[in-house]
Amino acid sequence: MSHYEGVKRQALAARDDGFCGVASIAAVLFCGYKRAATLAEQCFGRVHRKGTAMYSLEAWQKFAKVTGRKVEMEWVAGDKRGLTLGNFAKHYPQGRYVVLVKRHAVGFRNGINHDWTANGAGRRKVQAIIKVGN
C-alpha cells in the first residue's frame, strides 16, 4: 500500500474529507494523518472536514518554525514553462515539495506523486511550489 493510501484510510476513518492539504504535508514529512492534520490546524488554521488554504507565505513560515524545516515558496502561475502535475517530477526529480494547483495540493517526494492525481489529472497547471527541506 502506498503512503497516500494509508493516509487516505486514516482520513476516512476520522470522517475527514477535503484532506488534500493534510495528505500533502504527510507526504513531504513522511508522517501519518494525525500528525499532518495537527500541523495543518496549527499552521494553516485548518478546520476538520474542511479544505486547507495553503497559499499564505506567513503560514508556511509558521510551518517552518514549528517543524524546524527550511521552506522555500515559488509562484509559477502564469510562468511560461507550462509546468503541470504530469511533468513536475521531470523538472524536480529530487526533494520534497507541496505543489499547489487550482483548489488542490499535492505532495511530491523524490519525484513521486503521493496523491490520487498520480493516476490522472496530469494536465493541471501548477500555481505554486513549496520546497520543504530537511
Averaged pLDDT, 63-72: 97
Band of pLDDT at residue 134, cut at 50, 70 and 90: confident
Q: Domain ranges in the chain?
A: 3-132
Does the pLDDT at position 80 exceed 70?
A: no
| Pairwise CA distance, residues 101 & 131, whole Å | 15
- pTM, two decimals, is 0.91
> What is the average pLDDT value for the chain, to the nearest integer?
91
Q: Which pLDDT tens digit goes with each residue over 83-95?
A: 999 899 999 999 9
What confidence score (pLDDT) does residue 1 get? 54
- pLDDT bucket at 77, cuts 50 / 70 / 90: confident
